[in-house]
């Protein structure tokens, strides 16, 4: 007996439903993380070590949590991050996420390894909707250049180069379930035949260039005018290098715990990063995003108070889509909107400009 959509009261509820109704292989691919999945659990646990110090007697009759990301005005400070293989969860795949993002005026990051073609996902967008491209860099740079130039021509407003996956992590749940679903058209995008024996992740990732390095960044700058963001940065030293390299942003991320197990959570890295950027006067030189484990508006608010410009959300939208299609993703975003409004009021903030470190107690987070 499947719960009604109205019985999902928060983002975690969608996960519980998805676990029950999704095909085993699809559930294994979406839910799995690297090795013992310690980092995936830590992505949640780290948020649980941050507490609020609310302001009282602030007029919070009107709250506004709109903001800008890479110059785009958005209704809420989160975006739909790139997750591969949308058709494992829903026959229409990523375009379901496109439609929900349009309705709520948030940005969608299009994955290199989408099940839908890139053009299908762009065509599904409304005229004013903003999308970004997530890029896995191909060993054949001519292929990568074609993908990037095409995305810019089609109106993408940001290039997110994934830098935490020189090789795909070992996801044993996924490996056990095997990749036997011919329904997902990965090959069209990846340009490679899939060998399912090692799970979905490994089957689709053989083209990724493990030789990618800082020396390649100027080349990306030379082929595109899109803002460039490095996705998967995990230490403040690399944030500083990113500033030096002249990129517009970083996503502090451990890929949802799917790459290096025992990577720290993004909020830990954020707490390490922002004081260093501020001390050097660099906080306005680069936009800092985080993803991993964001399930509640309070998680979003904690990240923004620490200095993030916005947060990416992955699995919850996949689960909502898999269980209930567009209506599910729509409700998930609406729930986040409702939670945002309530919790902004409860901490005594009326705009994202009001959100700062003074609203947090991070003593349990570790010393930074």
Q: Chain centroid to CA 206: how far?
A: 22
Nearest-CB residue for ligand FNR = 314
Please, what sign has the CA dihedral across residues 90, 93, 94, 99?
Answer: negative
Minimum Å gap between C-beta 203 and ligand FNR is 13
Residue 249 binds ligand FNR (CB under 6 A): no
Active-site option among 30, 79, 255, 261: 255
In the list 30, 47, 220, 324, the residue contacting ligand FNR (rule: CB under 6 A) is 30
Active-site option among 79, 136, 319, 324: 136
- Give the burial class of 348: count Cβ atoms within 10 A of its Cβ; 0-12 exposed, 13-18 middle, 19 or more buried: middle
List Cα–Cα distances, 293 to 13, 39, 191, 225, in angstroms. Answer: 14, 10, 31, 31
Q: What is the DSSP string of 308-329?
A: -SEEEE-HHHHHHHHHHHHHHH
Closer residue to ligand FNR in complex, CB, 87/315:
315
Specify the 3-state DSSP secondary structure of 251: strand
Q: Residue 59 and residue 364: Cα distance in Å, rounded?
A: 30
Enclosing H/E stretch for 79: strand 78-80
Stretch of 122-130, 181-189, 287-295, 326-334 lying at the interface with ligand FNR (CB under 6 A) = 287-295
Q: Which two tokens stand for residue 81?
A: 């991050």
Q: Which two tokens stand for residue 358?
A: 């003074």
255 labelled catalytic? yes
Alpha-helical segments (H) within the chain: 11-21, 24-31, 38-47, 95-104, 118-123, 141-153, 172-177, 187-190, 199-203, 217-223, 236-245, 266-279, 297-306, 315-347
Q: Residue 105 and residue 324: Cα distance in Å, rounded?
A: 20
Residue 294 binds ligand FNR (CB under 6 A): yes
289 labelled catalytic? no
Binding mask 153-182 for ligand FNR (x = CB under 6 A): ---------x--------------------
Minimum Å gap between C-beta 165 and ligand FNR is 7
Q: Residue 306 and residue 312: Cα distance in Å, rounded?
A: 15
Binding mask 64-83 for ligand FNR (x = CB under 6 A): -----------------xxx
Closer residue to ligand FNR in complex, CB, 84/212:
84
Residue 205 binds ligand FNR (CB under 6 A): no
29 labelled catalytic? no
Stretch of 50-58, 191-199, 206-214, 292-300 lying at the interface with ligand FNR (CB under 6 A) = 292-300
Residues 116-155 that bind ligand FNR (CB under 6 A): 134
Residues that bind ligand FNR (rule: CB under 6 A) add up to a total of 24
CB atoms within 10 A of CB 345: 16
In the list 102, 313, 323, 365, the residue contacting ligand FNR (rule: CB under 6 A) is 313
Q: Please report, as ranges, the residues that interact with ligand FNR according to CB under 6 A.
A: 29-30, 43, 81-84, 111, 113, 134, 162, 231, 253, 255-256, 258, 291-294, 312-315
> Which residues are catalytic, by number?
136, 164, 255
């Amino acid at each position: 007996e499947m719960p009604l959509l109205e019985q999902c009261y928060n983002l975690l509820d969608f996960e519980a439903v998805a676990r029950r109704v999704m095909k085993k292989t699809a559930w294994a691919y979406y839910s799995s993380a690297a090795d013992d999945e310690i980092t995936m659990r830590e992505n949640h646990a780290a948020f649980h070590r941050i507490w609020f110090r609310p302001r009282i007697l602030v007029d919070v009759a009107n709250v506004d949590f709109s903001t800008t990301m890479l110059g785009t005005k958005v209704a809420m400070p989160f975006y739909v991050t790139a997750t591969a293989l949308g058709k494992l969860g829903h026959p229409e795949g990523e375009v379901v996420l496109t439609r929900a993002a349009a309705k709520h005026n948030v940005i969608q990051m299009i994955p290199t390894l989408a099940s839908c073609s890139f053009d299908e996902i762009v065509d599904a967008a409304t005229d004013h909707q903003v999308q970004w491209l997530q890029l896995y860099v191909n060993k054949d740079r001519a292929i990568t250049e074609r993908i990037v130039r095409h995305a810019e021509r089609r109106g993408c407003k940001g290039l997110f180069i994934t830098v935490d996956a020189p090789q795909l992590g070992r996801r044993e749940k996924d490996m056990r379930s095997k990749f036997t679903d011919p329904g997902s058209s990965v090959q069209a995008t990846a340009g490679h035949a899939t060998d399912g024996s090692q799970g979905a992740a490994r089957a689709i990732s053989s083209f990724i260039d493990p030789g990618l390095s800082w020396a390649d960044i100027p080349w990306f700058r030379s082929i595109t005018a899109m803002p460039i963001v490095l996705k998967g940065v995990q230490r403040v030293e690399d944030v500083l290098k990113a500033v030096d390299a002249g990129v517009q942003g970083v996503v502090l991320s451990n890929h949802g715990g799917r790459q290096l197990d025992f990577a720290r959570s993004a909020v830990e890295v954020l707490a390490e990063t922002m004081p260093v950027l501020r001390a050097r006067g660099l906080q306005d030189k680069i936009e800092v995003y985080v993803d991993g484990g964001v399930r509640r508006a309070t998680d979003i608010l904690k990240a923004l108070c620490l200095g993030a410009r916005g947060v990416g959300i992955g699995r919850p939208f996949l689960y909502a889509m898999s269980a209930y299609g567009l209506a599910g993703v729509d409700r998930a975003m609406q729930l986040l909107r409702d939670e945002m409004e309530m919790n902004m009021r409860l901490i005594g903030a009326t705009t994202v400009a009001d959100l700062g470190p003074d609203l947090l107690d991070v003593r349990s987070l570790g010393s930074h």
